[in-house]
Structure 1
């Protein structure tokens, strides 16, 4: 009798595990985290047995993120690492939470995501075609784009 109860419990537990699926929000868009980096981040030789402190990905930071139609470097004016003027109008503007996390629902397509900084707009990723921080949104999929705001960092 005791073994029967154990067998039933194990079977029920196993069945519950197979029924659990990860949460998948409806729709599509972009999710990610915005982090801040500044100062010296050059690779350095650490003393034996000590960890190199420059392996961090940055501190989570609260920022405004603007979504633009896909833009090229020729569509903007760059000064001191920030974009001063942008040819396109933003499609959406969102705020990250205190941990730098953001979620923005978008129609399928290609977009540029820029953060709003004190002196202008910032993006840290460019592709081989000159596109600024490009991201592709596909039907029914969420695309991960972590943004490292690093215009005050040295590598």
Structure 2
């Protein structure tokens, strides 16, 4: 008699697993948060001898995010921490919201990500081959890329 309730319990669990919707995404792309960081980021000693806290995370930033085909440093020109010339045209763009959050569906592939600033484009990550802010989008996967805009910060 004890075996029947146990078997029904196992059967119920198996049926629930098969009836649940798959957790895999049917789309792919990039998402994350954009933050702005400026000024002196070095800890400072106050009069009472304690180090003052620094906000290394910045504040949320609303920005236009531009997606270019994978771009190399050799195909661009920088001035004062911003890219003033980038070969090619953006293939997609999106806006981060007032909380700095963004999400954009993209086809699988490799891309370079820039934010639009007043005097040019910003990106500050590079791979060992000189590619600018490279990101790889894989089929049915979302890539998280948090962007910290820090060209006006001092470390």
- Same-fold call, TM cutoff 0.5: yes
Cα deviation 1:51-77 (Å, max 9, x = unaligned):
742143110010000000011111111
Match of 1:140 in 2: 140
What are the ranges of 5 or more consecutive residues in structure 2 without an aligned counterpart? 1-12
Match of 2:60 in 1: 60
Runs of 4+ in 1 over 3 A off after TM superposition: 18-21, 23-26, 43-52
CA shift, 1:26, in A, is 3.2
CA shift, 1:124, in A, is 1.5
CA shift, 1:25, in A, is 5.0
Q: How many Å separate the matches in 2 of 1:40 and 1:91?
A: 35
CA shift, 1:42, in A, is 2.2
Match of 1:104 in 2: 104
Q: How many Å separate the matches in 2 of 1:73 and 1:79?
A: 13
Task: For 1:42-121, list aligned pairs within 5 A.
Answer: 42-44=42-44, 52-121=52-121
Q: Aligned in 2, Cα 1:74/1:52: closer, same or farther, shift over 3 Å?
A: same
Q: How many Å separate the matches in 2 of 1:131 and 1:47?
A: 45
Q: How many Å separate the matches in 2 of 1:47 and 1:91?
A: 52
Residues 68 and 92, structure 2, Cα contact 8 Å, conserved in 1: yes
SS where residue 129 of structure 2 aligns?
coil
SS where residue 54 of structure 2 aligns?
helix
SS where residue 103 of structure 2 aligns?
strand
Aligned-pair Cα RMSD in Å: 2.7
What are the ranges of 5 or more consecutive residues in structure 1 without an aligned counterpart? 1-14
Q: How many Å separate the matches in 2 of 1:48 and 1:136?
A: 48
Q: How many Å separate the matches in 2 of 1:141 and 1:49?
A: 48
Residues 43 and 51, structure 2, Cα contact 8 Å, conserved in 1: no
Q: How many Å separate the matches in 2 of 1:141 and 1:151?
A: 30
